[in-house]
Amino acid sequence: MRSIRIPHPHVGLALRDKHFVTALLAEFLGVLLFQLLAGSIEHGPVETATAFAAIMYFVGPLSGGHLNPMVSLAGAATGHIDLVRGLCYAVVQILGAIMGAILQVWLISDFSFGAASDSCVAPPKHVSGPQLWGWEFLLAFFFLAVMYSSVFVAPGHGGAAPLAAGLALLAALSTGGFYTGGSPLNPARLFANMVVFRCDVAWGWTYLAAHLAAIGAAVAWVWPVHGLGMFMGGPRPDSFTGTANTLGGSSLTDPFLAGTTGSSGGPTSGTGGGGGGGG
Amino acid sequence: MRSIRIPHPHVGLALRDKHFVTALLAEFLGVLLFQLLAGSIEHGPVETATAFAAIMYFVGPLSGGHLNPMVSLAGAATGHIDLVRGLCYAVVQILGAIMGAILQVWLISDFSFGAASDSCVAPPKHVSGPQLWGWEFLLAFFFLAVMYSSVFVAPGHGGAAPLAAGLALLAALSTGGFYTGGSPLNPARLFANMVVFRCDVAWGWTYLAAHLAAIGAAVAWVWPVHGLGMFMGGPRPDSFTGTANTLGGSSLTDPFLAGTTGSSGGPTSGTGGGGGGGG
Amino acid sequence: MRSIRIPHPHVGLALRDKHFVTALLAEFLGVLLFQLLAGSIEHGPVETATAFAAIMYFVGPLSGGHLNPMVSLAGAATGHIDLVRGLCYAVVQILGAIMGAILQVWLISDFSFGAASDSCVAPPKHVSGPQLWGWEFLLAFFFLAVMYSSVFVAPGHGGAAPLAAGLALLAALSTGGFYTGGSPLNPARLFANMVVFRCDVAWGWTYLAAHLAAIGAAVAWVWPVHGLGMFMGGPRPDSFTGTANTLGGSSLTDPFLAGTTGSSGGPTSGTGGGGGGGG
Amino acid sequence: MRSIRIPHPHVGLALRDKHFVTALLAEFLGVLLFQLLAGSIEHGPVETATAFAAIMYFVGPLSGGHLNPMVSLAGAATGHIDLVRGLCYAVVQILGAIMGAILQVWLISDFSFGAASDSCVAPPKHVSGPQLWGWEFLLAFFFLAVMYSSVFVAPGHGGAAPLAAGLALLAALSTGGFYTGGSPLNPARLFANMVVFRCDVAWGWTYLAAHLAAIGAAVAWVWPVHGLGMFMGGPRPDSFTGTANTLGGSSLTDPFLAGTTGSSGGPTSGTGGGGGGGG
């Protein structure tokens, strides 16, 4: 493994890059729409998952389609995006969710500033504090793991990535969501609830602590398994370009075959073909 | 940015082009089926979304699969299709919806000319006029944004484009649809209701004004972010042909990497790799 | 257009071809499973559509995944498959559905020979005969149209073809199915009901007549729009091989651009890029 | 057909292969999550299917995404993976399910060791023993058949493979699941129920016998139809690499055309283009 190189890019420089600003606008608008759509009804897993997937189809080509501070911060922590991008994404995502919640107050008669709304999340009574934390942690880790294989680690899932993300949210919310009060696994949404509706404050920190732990667990899993990203000395994803389609098209069929190609090892010397190696 | 060149094609010439006529027939038949299927039951988001996606799989290879005057007019306004095509599409889409509504009168005992039917849309009582306008505007803009990334802006979402469109409709109708009375975000459907069932007349112009504003907002978003289309001096989508698969297959994983390839900028000089540039 | 050449292949010869026999076995087993799964519960659109799509993922690589005599016969009528294949498929599909129904009698306590079962389809009382015929005809034509763009006409929808077929069934059954009694748009299923459960006999011929008319309408639509298939002088689908991915990956984004490439026509001389041309 | 060569790889050697260990960890974690999510609610087909598909998007690039001892053992029996891999996968899958069930006891107040829980499966009263066996056998064979075409046999379904697997589970559980008590068709889940919750013991062996028979039936089907895998003398999947995309992109449109390309046979000498041949 190469030595890890932490990039120190310059924020001011980045903001003069048109494409970086576009990506920030896309993330802002995306999370705004996510809060506006999925937060306007009670916590239906189907509505949350379809809104996330559809918005990811919208902003994916512009920003990568994170739509979640957990995803951006984890991606920065493992070097799959650079630190400035990760932090800026997280900030605009939170601002987007807050702006979405403000729009909700204007657009929905039942919503008002400082009063609990349908967007609020409350842990159910039959779940203890550690159980709430454990569920939220495991669900968040699961969601992060699917996002890593979808958008960060080459070859990704291509045009199916938003479907994978939506399915992960649907699976998590329609099962474990029963024990977390339907939390959408999204710190930005949580902050918006805290700031605009003044709800989720009491339990919000339990959720946030679980999210933070999930980022840590994702890093601990991704580092040895997939290797660090290009911003920490890992391989560039576009080094896959020549064969990206091949791997993308059949990555699920031959992960254990790549290693045997021209390998002197035995037939069991399989390799995580889709993983991109440990650098 | 190059100077904008408005094309002035000749309608009579276009109608002698077999493939253009085929595209018009496909849009006519597609919206007819959309009205017939999704308009025959009360405004179920799932039925509307699956009908739209399935019909888009049918007509997509023939006409691009717009199935919505908003989409065609917005595409023409940003130069992603030419003006004649956009206007002709909008006309046949409206005619298709009207013919679908006429077929419904024959095929469904409960439907009759000039009487409100299950296809009619009524804003719910708990929503004020500006709120109705605001919801319809935001949902329509959201739908247009997903359609742009799916069918207009290279590399698009390929075979997943109808899924993206269907997910967008499902997300919009199952959440915000509660506040718009289940409006299918489609002016053609609205005109058919007005003409055949004489409903939606009172509120119809609110919806249509919101649709028009959404087209304007989509143009204002697409112009700086994606650049104008080839009919207004933008790059040709098939200039992506050489690497279309690569970008199509992994566009969601590396939008911020394209800019660093052979770039002298820092690691944050990302670029909207899927966006097609600003011309 | 080249002159039409009707192939006269030899059935006995075909049956000595291992791959042809495999395809027949796959269609037999596929429709058997479709009857067994979707016919064991009352006519749920979701169950019917998911069963069809999943089975199509199973048999698609072996037989093309028709699973419906309408599809096979229409494909043969337009020359997209040869006549012997179309007829043999239809026969084994019907036999498969009958065998599936026989298995149901053994596997489900409530089912017995000659008695109406959950698999039976009955037109609802609120629908007249011509209305039933009209709905079944339009839904069947819609389903055939989606199947053409998915499996017959290059470039098809690739790995998304079963999703397209499932969405078409879901859209048709969850809307128009209310007026056809939930008919699965499949003559093989209908014959199995007639033979094994002795139901659907009175109304069955209305359904079958609608299916036959839908085949005719599909041929009348496909011939001028897509052109005939390779078995009637049309282009070979694998003549797309060189660029199949490009077209497949972005066929929905540029159907109207192909015609302008190197074309001396105006910008409106678009072409149905996905259509395969009229020979 | 070449002579069959049974590989005798060395387990100890395999465990020193980082990528093999990663694959085992992925399968362990994947089945753990599957038990935790889908086993925490009563047997909802949608929840089971979405959890399976989403987890397959997570672990697919690492291990192939089997998540089911039936799949791994059948794949080993037909030579599509090697024997050591198949056996090790099965073991860690069962351990993962047991660990998931243990986590459930900690995370859900209603669950406790040795007491029946929502994860338990009970055959419904209206189904006899042979009927239960028959349903479970047919559903398991159907699921295995879809998994073969998705992950084992070239060209597979690429990024749509998890969707195919999820649709197969959804179709099976939402129809036949009514007659099997909602069994998730997964021996690992069954063992976890037996060990941790001490349920499913009386009927568990009926399920397991059906699973074993389904493996046998899948082998009997795959051997002549697709041919054995590379670990038993079959062709290497990556021998498809050059044209994998072409076949992957259009495999559903031209299975019967491959045989006619440059073939001297008649037009009916079709071939299972997606099958990979019998060696």
Taking an 8 Å cut-off on Cβ atoms, the answer to whether A237 and B257 are in contact is yes
Give the closest residue to B136 by CA, choosing from B91, B84, B200: B200
| Predicted local distance difference test score (pLDDT) of residue C246 | 25
Q: Provide the shortest C-alpha distance from residue D145 to chain C (in Å).
A: 6
Taking an 8 Å cut-off on Cβ atoms, the answer to whether D38 and A138 are in contact is no
For residue B267, the 8-state DSSP code is: T
For residue D2, the 8-state DSSP code is: P
Token digits for B205?
């112009």
Q: What is the pTM of this model?
A: 0.85
Confidence of residue D254 (pLDDT cuts 50, 70, 90): very low
Q: What is the CA radius of gyration of chain A?
A: 19
Q: Are D123 and D58 in contact (CB under 8 A)?
A: no
Task: Share the mean pLDDT of chain D.
Answer: 80
Taking an 8 Å cut-off on Cβ atoms, the answer to whether D62 and A158 are in contact is no
Give the closest residue to C179 by CA, choosing from B30, B111, D174: B111
Q: Which chains touch D (3 or more CB pairs under 8 A)?
A: A, C
Q: How far is the CA of D264 from the CAs of A92, D259, D261, D268, in angstroms?
A: 64, 9, 9, 11
Cβ neighbours of residue A125 under 8 Å, at least 6 residues apart? Answer: none
Confidence of residue A200 (pLDDT cuts 50, 70, 90): confident
Taking an 8 Å cut-off on Cβ atoms, the answer to whether D57 and A246 are in contact is no
Give the closest residue to B142 by CA, choosing from B57, B93, B210: B210
Taking an 8 Å cut-off on Cβ atoms, the answer to whether C255 and B23 are in contact is yes
DSSP-based helix, strand, coil % in chain A, nearest 5: 65, 0, 35
Residues of chain D contacting residue C166, judged by C-beta atoms under 8 Å apart: 167
**Peptide bond preceding B267: is omega within 30 degrees of 0, i.e. cis?**
no
Token digits for A153?
């680690």
Residues of chain B contacting residue A20, judged by C-beta atoms under 8 Å apart: 256, 268-270
Give the closest residue to C221 by CA, choosing from C137, C160, C136: C137
| Cα–Cα distance for residue pair C146/C91, rounded to 1 Å | 23
| Half-sphere exposure (Cβ direction) of A104: Cα atoms closer than 13 Å | 34
Q: How many residue contacts between A and D have a Cβ separation below 8 Å? A: 206
pLDDT for residue D237 is more than 90: no
Alpha carbon B129 to its chain's center: 24
Residues of chain D contacting residue C244, judged by C-beta atoms under 8 Å apart: 246, 249-250
Confidence of residue C17 (pLDDT cuts 50, 70, 90): confident
| Cα–Cα distance for residue pair A135/A176, rounded to 1 Å | 7
Give the closest residue to D67 by CA, choosing from D157, D154, D151, D7: D151
| Predicted local distance difference test score (pLDDT) of residue D13 | 66
| Cα–Cα distance for residue pair B234/B228, rounded to 1 Å | 5
Q: Are C180 and B63 in contact (CB under 8 A)?
A: no
- Identify the residue whose tokens are 């060209």: D155
Give the closest residue to D246 by CA, choosing from C247, B124, C32: C247
Helices and strands (DSSP H and E) totals, chain B: 11, 0
Mean pLDDT of B158-179: 92
On the 0-12 / 13-18 / 19+ scale of CB atoms within 10 A, C44 is middle
- Identify the residue whose tokens are 């859209």: C171
In order, the DSSP letters of C7-30 are: ----HHHHHT-HHHHHHHHHHHHH
Q: Which residue of D has its CA nearest to A256?
A: D63
In order, the DSSP letters of A11-52 are: HHHHHT-HHHHHHHHHHHHHHHHHHHHHTSSS--HHHHHHHH
Taking an 8 Å cut-off on Cβ atoms, the answer to whether D255 and C36 are in contact is no
Q: Which of C22, C106, C240 sits opposite D225 (nearest CB)?
A: C22
Question: Looking at this predicted complex, what is its ipTM?
Answer: 0.85
| Predicted local distance difference test score (pLDDT) of residue A279 | 29
Give the closest residue to B54 by CA, choosing from A83, A227, C218, C139: C139
Token digits for C78?
């337009």
Question: Would the CA dihedral through D32, D9, D165, C95 be positive or negative?
Answer: negative
pLDDT per residue over B89-116, tens digit each? 999 999 999 999 999 999 998 898 988 8
pLDDT per residue over B217-226, tens digit each? 999 999 888 8
Confidence of residue A6 (pLDDT cuts 50, 70, 90): very low
Q: How far is the CA of D265 from the CAs of C13, C15, C16, C25, D159, in angstroms?
A: 10, 13, 11, 21, 35
> Rounded to the nearest 5 degrees, what angle is found at the Cα of D273, between the Cα atoms of D272 and D279?
75
pLDDT for residue D270 is more than 80: no
The torsion angles phi and psi of D251, rounded to 5 degrees, stand at -60, -30
Task: Share the mean pLDDT of chain A.
Answer: 80
Q: Are B17 and C268 in contact (CB under 8 A)?
A: yes
Taking an 8 Å cut-off on Cβ atoms, the answer to whether A47 and B273 are in contact is no
| Cα–Cα distance for residue pair D132/D117, rounded to 1 Å | 21
Token digits for A154?
């080459």
| Half-sphere exposure (Cβ direction) of A236: Cα atoms closer than 13 Å | 13
| Cα–Cα distance for residue pair B109/D4, rounded to 1 Å | 66
Q: Which residue of B has its CA nearest to C175?
A: B37
pLDDT for residue D15 is more than 50: yes
| Predicted local distance difference test score (pLDDT) of residue C88 | 94
Mean pLDDT of D235-250: 41
Q: Quick count: other Cβ atoms within 10 Å of Cβ B205?
A: 12
In order, the DSSP letters of A68-132 are: SHHHHHHHHHTTSS-HHHHHHHHHHHHHHHHHHHHHHHHH-TT--TTS--TT-----TTS-HHHH
pLDDT for residue B253 is more than 60: no
Question: Would the CA dihedral through A86, A88, A94, A97 be positive or negative?
Answer: negative
pLDDT per residue over A55-105, tens digit each? 999 998 899 899 999 999 999 999 999 899 999 999 999 999 999 999 999
Q: How far is the CA of A206 from the CAs of A36, A132, A138, A202, B55, in angstroms?
A: 24, 8, 13, 8, 45
| Cα–Cα distance for residue pair C258/C277, rounded to 1 Å | 12
Token digits for D8?
């005798």
Q: How far is the CA of C59 from the CAs of C32, C52, D213, D253, in angstroms?
A: 12, 11, 21, 12
Q: Are A139 and A207 in contact (CB under 8 A)?
A: no
Q: Between C117 and A275, name the one with better pLDDT.
A: C117
Q: Provide the shortest C-alpha distance from residue C255 to chain B (in Å).
A: 6
For residue B43, the 8-state DSSP code is: -
| Cα–Cα distance for residue pair B119/B97, rounded to 1 Å | 11
Taking an 8 Å cut-off on Cβ atoms, the answer to whether C22 and D142 are in contact is no
Mean pLDDT of A234-245: 49
pLDDT for residue D179 is more than 50: yes
Q: Are A186 and A179 in contact (CB under 8 A)?
A: no
Q: Between B134 and B278, name the one with better pLDDT.
A: B134
For residue D258, the 8-state DSSP code is: G
| Predicted local distance difference test score (pLDDT) of residue D10 | 64
pLDDT per residue over C41-86, tens digit each? 877 899 999 999 999 999 988 998 999 999 999 999 999 998 999 9
Mean pLDDT of A140-163: 90
pLDDT for residue A251 is more than 60: no
Token digits for D78?
């037909």
Amino acid at site D220: A
On the 0-12 / 13-18 / 19+ scale of CB atoms within 10 A, D222 is buried
Q: Which residue of A has its CA nearest to D86?
A: A268
pLDDT per residue over C192-243, tens digit each? 999 999 987 888 888 999 999 999 999 999 988 888 888 887 777 655 433 3
Q: Are C108 and C42 in contact (CB under 8 A)?
A: no
Residues of chain A contacting residue B225, judged by C-beta atoms under 8 Å apart: 22, 25-26, 62
pLDDT per residue over C133-176, tens digit each? 999 999 999 999 999 999 888 778 888 999 999 999 999 999 99
Token digits for C82?
């040869």
pLDDT per residue over D111-137, tens digit each? 989 888 888 888 888 888 899 999 999
